[in-house]
Amino acid sequence: MSQIPFSRGLAGRDIKKRVASNLGAPYAHRFHNSLWTYRVGQLTTSNVRRLKDTAIDVNLQGGGGGDPDTNAPVKSDLQPHALHKFAHEADYSLLIAVPKSSDHVRNAAECAKGSFMVGHTDPQIFHWFKQLSSLPPRGILSGPLETLRGDLAAEAWETTFARHPTIHTIAQEMWEKRESKTAAEAVHIAQREKEEDEKRMRRMSHSDWRGKFRERERNPTAAEDEEKPVYVIKPETFALLRLRPDVRLWMNVAGQTQRVWEPALAAPDPLCRCSHRFIRMLNLARQKLVPSLNMNFSLKLTNAFIFEIDQGGLWALGTQENFKDRNGTVKEEWSELRLEFGKNQQITNEQEMEWWVRGLTKLGAPEVSQSDSSIDDAGLNPEDFDYRHI
């Protein structure tokens, strides 16, 4: 395991913690696994006309009065993506769903070039990486963008984005901002809300107190539920962009970039859709995770956390020894660890992974597998996570 230290920080000070990464690791498989695991990525497009007039500000200046993205020549934000294999095509296609009101659609029409970065969006893991003066590993793709139309767009929408969780959030925001709501629909909805308010007032002011309490005690139906968000997903309000990657890069935890060549986009890993749940289960009790890893993998870790799972094993970041220098400063040697499930052993479904996690935690930490009692901890603010026992 080679050591790649971070020598100096942004402010010119010595960084007390350094992270090492495995050179020669199967980064191509990890690159494709990240594309399938994460449902959103950072799309970057450029406005050629605005680039000629406006320079890109590389200085990080805070406290501005206006929105910095209003006149920016480069648009970069998180957008939902999916991978789909069209008929009569050998490889998967990377599809990105963008609202038609976004600047990305206009930028792609003028300059059909873009880049897409996929990596961790979990705030707690991101916070842990930042404490180590590092960033989570991520995949970067760049190449020409193509806007899908007709049957290709309809097929891609029905098979991938119709059940995409992020699409529902974006559609609700567009509906509430009246970006996807027509004038006739707005009038009809206002009339319906007025009629429902009148019915509710008449029901609550009814003279029959038995009927009033009976109506109040019963649970509202799906049509009467006021807390349920009401929105309509309209496929015609989204533009589907297909990115044909010319360059595929994998950046590891030490900031080293490695080129990914073949295949263009690989088949999905069997655990790509459920790995988030098991990562959260293992990391929720880190004080129990470390002795479990030490006992099951014959390690001598003092601290560790899991950040990636595939069918062959786990990727963890851990430190095995802490030592003091001449000034008495404790330095932690953090390294990227590959923990295999076993020799030539692969886990191919969620149920097997569930039993493996329970088997791992049975020796060192039986509390970790009881994830239902720790669901509230998963949504904590990163600053409050270390004090969740108080």
Percent of the chain with pLDDT over 90: 21
Pairing of strands 313-324, 330-340: antiparallel
Is 382 in contact with 123 (CB distance < 8 Å)?
yes
Residues 6+ apart with CB under 8 A from 30: 137, 250, 308, 310, 315
Is 234 in contact with 180 (CB distance < 8 Å)?
yes
pLDDT digits (tens, 9 = 90+) for 318-339: 887 766 677 777 777 888 888 8
Ramachandran angles phi, psi of 60, nearest 5°: -85, 95
Spacing of C-alpha 68 from chain mean position: 24
Conformational region of residue 328, where left means phi above 0, alpha means psi within -120 to 50, and beta covers everything else: left
Is 352 in contact with 344 (CB distance < 8 Å)?
no
How many CA atoms lie within 13 Å of 220's alpha carbon, on the beta-carbon side? 8
Q: In the chain, which residues fall in CATH 2.30.110.10?
A: 26-54+70-176+236-259
How many residues does the structure list for the chain? 390
Rounded CA-CA distance 279/309 in Å is: 7
pLDDT at 71: 64
The DSSP secondary-structure symbol of 253 reads: T
pLDDT at 341: 87
pTM: 0.72
pLDDT digits (tens, 9 = 90+) for 273-309: 889 889 988 888 777 888 888 888 888 888 899 999 9
Exposure string for 77-100, b = 16+ CB within 10 A, e = fewer: eebbbbbbebeeeeebbbbbbbbe
Ramachandran angles phi, psi of 162, nearest 5°: -65, -30
pLDDT surpassing 60 at residue 128: yes
pLDDT at 335: 86
Q: At what angle do helices 183-204 and 209-217 cross, to 10 degrees?
A: 130
Average pLDDT over residues 49-54: 74
pLDDT at 65: 40
CATH class, range 274-364: alpha beta
pLDDT surpassing 90 at residue 143: yes
Residue 153 corresponds to which tokens in the numbers above? Answer: 């767009």
SS3 letters across 132-172: CCCCCCEEEEEEEEEECCCHHHHHHHHHHHCCCHHHHHHHH
Residue 254 corresponds to which tokens in the numbers above? Answer: 């030490």
pLDDT at 267: 84
238 closest CA partner among 160, 304, 290, 310: 160
Residue 288 corresponds to which tokens in the numbers above? Answer: 């129990």
CATH 2.30.110.10 fits 26-54+70-176+236-259, yes or no: yes
Q: In the chain, which residues fall in CATH 3.20.180?
A: 274-364
**Helices within 177-324 (DSSP H only):** 183-204, 209-217, 275-283, 286-297
pLDDT surpassing 60 at residue 139: yes
pLDDT at 142: 94
pLDDT at 373: 40
pLDDT at 181: 75
Rounded CA-CA distance 239/231 in Å is: 19
CA dihedral of residues 87, 91, 97, 101 (deg, nearest 10): -90
Mean pLDDT, the chain, as a whole number?
A: 77
pLDDT surpassing 60 at residue 152: yes
Rounded CA-CA distance 140/142 in Å is: 7
pLDDT digits (tens, 9 = 90+) for 346-364: 998 888 888 888 777 664 4
Helix (H, G, I), strand (E, B) or coil at 303: strand
pLDDT at 16: 41
